[in-house]
Amino acid sequence: MRLTLYTDYSLRVLIFLAAKPEGELSTVAEISGAFMISKNHLTKVVHELGKADFIETVRGRGGGIRLKVRPEQINVGNVVRKTEDDFQLVECFNRESNQCVLAPACRLKGVLQEALQAYLAILDRYTIADFVQNKDEIRMLLFPPSLS
C-alpha cells in the first residue's frame, strides 16, 4: 500500500506542529520551508487538517496554526483514514466498476482486505506523540540554528 503525498504532507505537518513548544504558532510558509515542499499544497493540507479538527487556525497579524489537541490524542490510523480517499487496492474492491471475471471465485480479494485491515490496525496503535519522542533531534532538523 502506498500513501498519497497528501497524507504524507498531513503527517509531516502534524509532526512539525507537535515538535514545536506546546501552543506555539507556526505558518504554512515556515512548514513549507522546513520540508521544501509547495506552499500551495500545504495550504490545502492545512485547511483539511483544520476541518478534521486536528489543528486550529489563529487569524490576524501574528496568527498561524497549531495543534488543536495534544499529540497523544491524534491517532495515526485516524489521520490516514481521513486523508486517504482510495483504499481500493484492486478493481474488485469497487462493486460498481468491477470488471474482473475472476471476482465470483477469487480468494485474493479476501486476503488483500485482511492485509489492509492489518495495515490500518498497526497505524491505529500509534499517535503523533510517538513520532516526536526524539523532539530534540527533530527540532534540530526542522529548526536549525541560524548561521548569523
Mean pLDDT of 7-16: 97
Measure CA 67 to chain center.
13
What is the pTM (predicted TM-score) of this model? 0.86
Q: Could you tell me which of 119, 116, 111, 92 has the C-alpha nearest to residue 103?
A: 92
Band of pLDDT at residue 50, cut at 50, 70 and 90:
very high
- Looking at residue 39, its pLDDT comes to 94
pLDDT at 91 over 70: no
What are the residue boundaries of the structural domains of the chain, listed by start? 5-85+128-142
What sections of 1-148 are H helices per DSSP? 5-19, 28-35, 39-51, 76-83, 108-123, 135-142
- Select 5-85+128-142's CATH number: 1.10.10.10, 3.40.120.10, 3.40.47.10, 3.60.10.10: 1.10.10.10
